[in-house]
Amino acid sequence: MKPNDSSLSDPRGVLLMLLSVFLFAANTLLMRALSLHIPAADGWMGILYRGSVGMLMVAALYGFGRGLSFKALVGTPLVALRGIIGALATAAFYVTIGSLGASRAVVLNLTYPIFATLIAAWWLKEAISRRALLWMFAGFVGLLAFVKGDAAHGFSAWDLLALAGALGAGIVVVIIRKLRATEHAGTIYGSQCFYSILFALPLRAGHVMEVPLPGHVVLILAAAIVSISQLVMTNAYRTLPVSQGSSIQMLLPLVTAAGAYLFFGERLTAVELAGGALTLLATWRVAAAPKRRRSEETPSVIPGDPAATPVVAVSDP
């Protein structure tokens, strides 16, 4: 037995990964609740708080010469690009939660590993196996069924925005892969927090007072939860192979859908369920299976978000 084989049954890593799933789902459900009950606390307001809390955490963990480079946030083009696209991709996810519902938004967002694989093949010249191509085709067939599965809803501009966010997250994953060799994890994640604040502040600074006190509390709680969930997931990957961690992360849409059904009465049609299941299965096969030989690597960043996740892990943007 190889030394790393014991990680396949590491109970602590499994428990941490399961905890991260529930924390990611809790963040999404909190944002859904805010969109329903406090319209002023919309997706962009959530991005403002998420960026602010995230930046405070990154500064506390990696500031003062411990890895976070504020100069690189604006002075290094690729770091800045990672932050800009990551912030916009996460904003697309948060905005669509209110319009599409938590369940639908999460499934569409979790297609980003497929986009990342295609972009890496073009940009980084990474080979794609024939099996992976077949799974990607199956994933897009499932995606088509999913977005068309609700006759009353149909395919809307919000679905297109959610997919654009997934595409953006896929681009960011590839950028992270290039930055891992030259930049610290704190700088890589801090770039998204910085540009999230930069974009959201002009849009929502004047509306902060419109949010009642309970809304501020929930916004801070949601931002703290998603930051903690990223840290928990990163620690889980210290002992879990990427393939196993990605498999556990695929529970995220199930947990989110269960919470959305319980708290908000969200329902998916049979066709949506079937299409979503096929898409998620294909996403997992594309993201996890081809990378098993790299499972000993420690993820270098703290999606979410997808923009701040291990390169082939499936999680929140």
- Residue 58 CA to chain centroid, in angstroms? 18
- Domain locations along the chain: 3-308
For residues 317 and 301, give the distance between their C-alpha atoms in angstroms, rounded to a whole number: 13
In this structure, what token pair is assigned to residue 289? 């299976």
Query: What CA–CA distance (Å, rounded) separates 253 from 148?
Result: 18
Check if the beta carbon of residue 312 is closer than 8 Å to that of residue 246: yes
Task: Report CA torsion sign: 281, 23, 117, 9.
Answer: negative
> Quick count: other Cβ atoms within 10 Å of Cβ 213?
7
Instruction: For residue 127, give the nearest of 117, 137, 136 by alpha carbon.
Output: 117
Amino acid 288: pLDDT: 66
Q: What parts of the chain have a pLDDT lower than 50?
A: 1-8, 290-317
pLDDT of residue 305: 46
Of 153, 44, 144, 140, which Cα lies nearest the Cα of 91? 44
Distance CA 171, CA 82 (A): 8
The predicted structure's pLDDT at residue 256: 93
User: Looking at residue 12, what is its pLDDT?
Assistant: 86
pLDDT of residue 260: 94
DSSP code at position 265: -
Distance CA 288, CA 243 (A): 4
Q: Which of 52, 147, 32 is nearest to 94 (CA)?
A: 32
Q: How large is the angle between the packed helices 102-109 and 270-288, nearest 10 degrees?
A: 30
- Which pLDDT score is estimated for 283? 85
Q: What is the pTM of this model?
A: 0.83
Contact (Cβ atoms closer than 8 angstroms) between residue 307 and residue 86:
yes
Side chain identity at 224, as an amino acid letter? A
The token pair at 243 is 């393939």
Joined together, the tokens standing for residue 198 give 């930069």
Give ∠ CA 9-15-19 in degrees, rounded to 5: 150
Closest CA to 286 of 143, 146, 189, 147: 143
Q: What is the pLDDT of residue 153?
A: 67
What's the pLDDT tens digit per position in 62-84? 988 888 999 999 999 999 999 99
* Whole-number pLDDT of residue 269: 86
CA dist list (Å): 276 to 62, 142, 262, 282: 38, 6, 19, 10
* C-alpha of 246 from chain center: 12
Give the pLDDT confidence score for residue 3 in this predicted structure.
Answer: 43
